[in-house]
Amino acid sequence: MKKWFKPAALIALAVSLTAGGASVASAASSLKGKIVINGSSALLPLTLQAKSEFQKLNPKVKISASAVSSIAGPQSVRKGIADIGAVDWDASVDVPGFKKFDGQVANPVAVTVFAAVVNKNVGVSNLTTKQLQDIFSGKVTNWKDVGGSDANIVVVNRKFGSGTRVNFQMKALGGQDFMTKGDNYKETGSSGDMKTAIETTPNAIGYIDLPYVTDKMKALSINGAAPTEKNVLNGTYKVWGIGYFMTKGQPTGATKAFIEYIQSAKFQNGSLKKLKFIPLAAVK
């Protein structure tokens, strides 16, 4: 009896002390709760950045963020396994290929710019819409046909359900279907997988949003316009979309505070811009 009493008492004391300490430290914010975020991997850099900043301000809010593809976002919200579903299109209305999600509210968070990207070894730096259509439908299979060197084109696509894929198909390929077969064609799960594939595969072409573009790959100009904030704002670069956080009904509590934090001018013009997203206010 006495043997276990002493350590138990010590543990109880330690717990009460740390609990007391923690409550003193977080006196600044009384916001409590748990936010689970799933969905778009294109928006993941933004979610993670906002998460770390928000948790510094509100230490009692627990946020767990993961990402596969856009469609998983609103579906997780519908199934009740996530509070926020990040998605690259407005999932509260019907879009081509995807039905609307009833009862969900779309909270806009950022403007995402999508770029066609190629491996560092590809000599081409600009493609027209027609050339992109030909490459992604499998009609053109050699880089020399679009102004590059004599090498086969490796097409890397995102899987069905990716918001980057939806945006790229609608806005860069004019709604044209992708190829589905071939020895030089593969599909990847998330934006992170796409990044790895493009970086490590010579002669590869794919598409990704700007926050993922590294110096190991090259973002292409489309019809002469480079994928930059300036070109999006002056209307010459068309491949961009608004990213949304879907919630079941209007957001409440910690979820509401988190979304408001991301929509705040401070975050939009600070961290969000640094990540190469574009503030919502800029395009309206």
User: By C-beta, is 181 or 284 nearer to another protein?
Assistant: 181
| CB 180, min distance to another protein, A | 7
| CB 162, min distance to another protein, A | 8
| CB 58, min distance to another protein, A | 29
Interatomic CA distance for residues 102 and 149, integer angstroms = 50
User: By C-beta, is 59 or 189 nearer to another protein?
Assistant: 189
User: By C-beta, is 20 or 202 nearer to another protein?
Assistant: 202
User: By C-beta, is 55 or 201 nearer to another protein?
Assistant: 201
| CB 36, min distance to another protein, A | 14
User: By C-beta, is 210 or 217 nearer to another protein?
Assistant: 217
CA quadruple 208, 211, 217, 222: dihedral positive or negative? positive
| CB 71, min distance to another protein, A | 5
Sequence-ordered list of residues with C-beta below 8 angstroms from that of 86, at least 6 positions apart, any chain: 37, 38, 39, 40, 43, 44, 47, 67, 70, 73, 109, 243, 244, 245, 246
Beta bridge partners of 157: 187
- Name the site residues for another protein (rule: CB under 8 A): 68-69, 71-72, 75, 78-79, 97, 99, 151-152, 154, 159-161, 180-189, 193, 196, 200-203
| CB 147, min distance to another protein, A | 19
User: By C-beta, is 174 or 182 nearer to another protein?
Assistant: 182
Q: Which of left, alpha, beta for 37 (phi over 0: left; psi -120 to 50: alpha)? A: beta
